[in-house]
Amino acid sequence: MSTSTPQNRFPTPSPSASADEAPVPGPGYMVDPARIPGIETILKALDGVERVVLTTHLNADGDGTGSQAAMFAFLEARDVRVRVVNPTPFPDLFRFLFPDLARDGDFPILDASTEAATEWCRTADLVIVLDTGEIPRIGRVKPMVEHLPHLVIDHHPAGDRAIEGVAWREVGASATGEMVHDLIHHAGGTLNQRAVDGLYVAILTDTGSFRFSNATPLAHRVAAELIARGAKPDELHDRIYGSAPLRRYKLLEAVLGTLDRTPDGRVAWMTVPQRTFRSLGCNAEDLEGLTDYPRTLEGTEVALLFRPVDDGVKVSFRSNGSVDVNRVAREFGGGGHVRASGALVQGDLEKVRQRVVAAVSSALDGEGPGRSGPTEPDRRANPRTTSLPTGNAR
Query: Segment contacting Mn ion (CB under 5 A): 84-92, 137-145, 200-208, 253-261?
Result: 200-208
Task: Count Cβ atoms within 10 A of the Cβ of residue 365 and give its class: 0-12 exposed, 13-18 middle, 19 or more buried.
Answer: exposed
Task: Count Cβ atoms within 10 A of the Cβ of residue 24 and give its class: 0-12 exposed, 13-18 middle, 19 or more buried.
Answer: exposed
Strand order in the sheet with 150-154: 109-111, 81-86, 51-56, 126-130, 150-154, 166-169
CA distance 251 to 287: 9
Q: What is the DSSP letter of 83?
A: E
**CB of 88 or CB of 274, closer to Mn ion:** 88
Q: Which amino acid is at 212?
A: F
**CB of 266 or CB of 337, closer to Mn ion:** 337
User: CB of 131: closest distance to Mn ion in angstroms?
Assistant: 5
**CB of 68 or CB of 192, closer to Mn ion:** 68
- Whether 167 and 154 have beta carbons less than 8 Å apart is answered as yes
Contact between 378 and Mn ion per CB under 5 A: no
Contact between 170 and Mn ion per CB under 5 A: no
User: CB of 175: closest distance to Mn ion in angstroms?
Assistant: 5
Query: Segment contacting Mn ion (CB under 5 A): 11-19, 70-78, 205-213, 342-350?
Result: 205-213
Query: Is residue 79 classed as helix, strand or coil in its secondary structure?
Result: coil
Q: Which amino acid is at 215?
A: A
Give the residue, chosen from 63, 178, 225, 288, that forms a contact with Mn ion under the rule CB under 5 A. Answer: 63
Query: Segment contacting Mn ion (CB under 5 A): 43-51, 59-67, 145-153, 163-171?
Result: 59-67
Contact between 131 and Mn ion per CB under 5 A: yes
User: CB of 17: closest distance to Mn ion in angstroms?
Assistant: 27
CA distance 352 to 31: 45
Query: Segment contacting Mn ion (CB under 5 A): 19-27, 114-122, 127-135, 210-218?
Result: 127-135
Total residues binding Mn ion (CB under 5 A): 5
CA distance 323 to 137: 24
User: CB of 163: closest distance to Mn ion in angstroms?
Assistant: 15
Query: Segment contacting Mn ion (CB under 5 A): 24-32, 84-92, 172-180, 329-337?
Result: 172-180
CA distance 379 to 206: 12
Query: Segment contacting Mn ion (CB under 5 A): 60-68, 190-198, 222-230, 341-349?
Result: 60-68
Contact between 134 and Mn ion per CB under 5 A: no
Q: In DSSP terms, which residues pair with 130 in a beta bridge?
A: 56, 153
- Give the list of residues 6+ apart from residue 221 with CB closer than 8 angstroms, or none: 29
* Closest of 338, 339, 380 to residue 172, by C-alpha: 380
Task: Name the residue number minimizing CB distance to Mn ion.
Answer: 63
User: CB of 134: closest distance to Mn ion in angstroms?
Assistant: 13
Site for Mn ion, rule CB under 5 A: 63, 131, 175-176, 206
